[in-house]
Amino acid sequence: MRFAKLAAPFKFASTQVTVLTALIYAIVFASVLIHDEPWDVPKDTQGLDIDRAFDALSEITRGPHPYISHANDAVRHYILSRLKPLAARHDHAHLSDDVTSNVTYVARGSYVVYFEGTNVLLKIDGTESSQDGVLFSCHYDSVSSAPGATDDGIAVVTLLEMAEYLSAPERRPRRTAVFFFNNGEEDQLNGAHAYFEHPWSNLTSVFINLEGAASGGHPLAFRTTSYGPASALQSRLVKHPHGTVLTSEAWSMGMIRSATDYEVYARGVEGEVPGLEGFDFAFYKNRAYYHTLRDSIPGMGHENTRKAIWAMLETVRGAGLTLLNGDRAGTDATKPVYFDVLGRSLILLSLNSMYIGNIVLLVLGPLSTIGLLIWVILAAKKRSELEAIPASHEEPRWRTIVKGLLGWERFWIALIIAILVHVGLSVGFLKLNPNIVHSHAYVVLSIFLGFSFLALVVPIQALHSILPPTFASQKLAVTLSLYFFTWIVLIVSTVAMSKQYGLLYWATFFNLGAWLAAVLELVRAGRRRDPGNEMGSYSFLFTSPEEQQARAEGVVPGRRLVRGVRYDAPEHIDNDAEGHANGRPGQEEGAIVETEPTEITPLIHQHRRQTEGGGEYLTVDPPEDVKVVAKPADEYGWWIAQVLLLVPAVAVLLFQLEVLLLNATMHTLVDGSPPVTVYFILALFSTLIFLPITPFAHKLPQSLNIVVAGVLILLLAVSWTIFPFTQQWPFRIYFQQFVELASPTSGLTINPARDVHINALEVVRAETTITGLKGYVDRYIVPDIPSSRHSDVVCNSTGLRPDLMTCTWTSDLLPSPGGTNSSLASEWLDVRPTRLNETRAIISVRGQNTRGCRLYFDRPVNFVYVHQPSDGEPLPPPAPVPAPVPFEKMHMQGGYEMPAEGVKEVRLWGRTWDKTFVVEVGWENANDNDEGLTGRAACEYAEYASALGGPESGRIPAYEEVKQFLPLWALPTKNEDGLAEVWTKFRV
């Protein structure tokens, strides 16, 4: 009795299984969700000043500060004011205010970029200067629609603090540290390209790039080039590592629509500077605020902002010190597989070692499992031969085969049902409310988890009740089926690793856990010399129908049946006159009478037994040893070890990934990403998370299913009916205004080469465009904008951004460039095209109070050269037309050369205001009737009144109108580099 009470908690029974599995999943879910939040700022920040960093962020994020804004200059001056004293105090610290590095390159293979950098660099000489240094990179520009607290203000203040920290003589590093504050990242990574034009770019071989792809939260090691830099995140100095190779490879496969300076550093400059090793460290949560006014300190909240600053500071310091002072320089180019465990530690392995480990598991696992299974079968057969009762008939083979398969099919049936349920559930969301995940992501997550649980558990329970396995216990059958499933997934993972993709690393641990659980189950069956069943203690695999019937009716395990002699009562008994039997006193009629032993009496004493079915047989067991066992034998302890092998580690790995991917994708639907991607992620990982409990599902109570189903019905009713966007998690629309200017007569600017006076330009039309999700931007947004009510609105489902609708209407709300002259005349946009010869032309373009312009061509050009002041004025009116620049003088950054088919766009970025860009272009002459080159010249504007610009700033009243009249559940963001583009046509 005492043993039974002590063993009760370890018994394989419904209550015990329910309590343990519920407890494990509750701990896993809670731990992951708690880890997903940023850590508190400690009292001891070990030399880093969090208050100073917070004050710096407040200064930087007073308002938006894109490259083409005067606020951008103010941020740059602030950074210089912080770094100049450091360089002045320490001989080993050197400041570079880089206003000389220019770069020309082809971006994305489709357009030429000319950029004049205004980057700021601080170099701290290492004590061992002969070794390669480490680049710490951030960008200090923001987009025109956001103050940029996360993108990239926190990174800026992090590097300012790290510069203060490492410049102290007692903390001077072994290797050289270069702190790079680049400008123009938001306009196609221009500042990073300019870095390779700076002489210090030859000093570094490793980089840490700090970014913000969302707003606040816990930053993530988004991607890494190789094992070397990833190992820095494994350092004991990094207290809370956060990263996974899955995001890195999703980015490399083009699944993430974004770009960071990482790409430029990792690629290097072909023929000049090799690519660097390093990693991207970026914020990724709360993307609904990305590039909007909520990417600010108030948007994140005071305390959460401090936590976000500390999260980045702590990791950058730990990883940075490891790279700067460690014995390994971080240049190991081996392909890595890495992931963190609850933000406490980072697991880092080389891809090759994971690949070899997978091969070992693929071979060793099946061999050992099959070997143990054969052992169990042979042991069961041997025991059956010792104990079997000769059968009076044989069962048909087909029936034996069918019975043998019962139990092995139910895992696969449950898996198929789970897949079908998730297909239906996803279709329901996609048809009824696809964007609900934007604002109620964790409700949707709970729904998918709940349906995964029911879809896997209920079929297994139903099959167990209707068709209980007879040839093996259900736990054994499902455990082996689960192992086979993980083995298949492991094959897929191994194939992916052979192609240098390690994103399915979790399959290795899933397979390992399933294999060990299967081994335990087979060892248990082998020790019992029987695979068990759900009808009695023994399998029906090697037993006759008679033995099966006897055992089902109460045969004792371990009992040997011996055929003996049955002694019947006399058929006729004489009664006396009073009706008593003539025999022994008290003997009743029909009683069994045992006679005196004779020569045929068995030497071993036998006991007579009667089955519950009415049959009778003899046994050598004494009465006190007889037990009824028409149910599975009790199991103690083994199942607990199997649960611990299967559930915790796998659930942590998978739920971490599910939550991370959910946070990274839940707000991308408003950018045009397909909703099916998010729901596929939820369906896949939710199913995988609950697969480990399938061997124990038949022990879970049905009352639990009823509770879960009730909660799911309520959550579904809410999530399929409520509006998907809220003030907390707002909808995002993309704004752009186009203003066309032209000559009053021809619609084209007049060619100065023909000695015709340039007339003042006039406004042809001003168009406001809003881009967003179809069904929302056209129904809820545009009708509420006052200027759209008095104009014809045209909505095109093929918009300015992929998968989004663009609505356009004309407006009389004209932008003002600001500066000293804001009139709509040739001073605002001055375009002068000049034909040099049959295939060359010079186009000069200047915009009032801007430093960003563009040229669009109606035909490809294959030569682009931007004249510099050192070249002399190429066309000072009325000077003669100069000779074309030699083709070889066109210099594109290595690896970003002009494509053979040419380009149709040139983007121009100057470091000074009101700059005149003088661009020489060339094209191929298609025929003798070539009419020359036509196109558009444009300049970009991004300053507006509510952005708190100075008196020299411009105004964009159309953007102010949209901001003012948007519903509370929507926020505006920029569509292009400029909020307003002013353009005119040209012909040469």
Task: Write out the two tokens for 718.
Answer: 């809410």
Q: Are 208 and 316 in contact (CB under 8 A)?
A: yes
Could you tell me the CA-to-CA distances from 272 to 185, 263, 268, 594, 922 in Å, in that order? 22, 16, 8, 108, 27
The whole-angstrom separation of Cα 149 and Cα 817 is 26
Task: Write out the two tokens for 414.
Answer: 């449950």
The whole-angstrom separation of Cα 164 and Cα 85 is 10
The whole-angstrom separation of Cα 477 and Cα 45 is 55
* H or E, element range at 711: helix 702-719
The whole-angstrom separation of Cα 125 and Cα 474 is 67
Please count the CA atoms within 13 angstroms of the CA of 429 that sit on its side-chain side.
Answer: 30
Task: Write out the two tokens for 69.
Answer: 């804004």
Please give the radius of gyration of the chain, using alpha carbons only, rounded to the nearest integer: 39
Phi, psi of 581, rounded to the nearest 5 degrees: -70, 145
Could you tell me the CA-to-CA distances from 547 to 273, 723, 960 in Å, in that order? 81, 65, 88
The whole-angstrom separation of Cα 946 and Cα 950 is 11
- CA 163 and chain centroid, separation: 32
**185 included as an active-site residue:** yes
Indicate the DSSP class of residue 61. Answer: T
Task: Write out the two tokens for 379.
Answer: 């042991």
- How would you class 727 by CB atoms within 10 Å of its CB: exposed for 0-12, middle for 13-18, buried for 19 or more? exposed
The whole-angstrom separation of Cα 736 and Cα 143 is 13
Q: Are 470 and 540 in contact (CB under 8 A)?
A: yes
The one catalytic residue in 116, 161, 164, 185 is 185
- Alpha-carbon dihedral 609, 612, 614, 615, rounded to 10 degrees: -50
The whole-angstrom separation of Cα 417 and Cα 420 is 5
CB atoms within 10 A of CB 509: 17
Phi, psi of 712, rounded to the nearest 5 degrees: -65, -40
Q: Are 845 and 908 in contact (CB under 8 A)?
A: yes
Tokens 């209550």 sit on residue: 15
CB atoms within 10 A of CB 755: 9
CB atoms within 10 A of CB 44: 6
- How would you class 34 by CB atoms within 10 Å of its CB: exposed for 0-12, middle for 13-18, buried for 19 or more? exposed
Q: Are 659 and 32 in contact (CB under 8 A)?
A: yes
The whole-angstrom separation of Cα 777 and Cα 788 is 12
| Residues designated as active site | 185
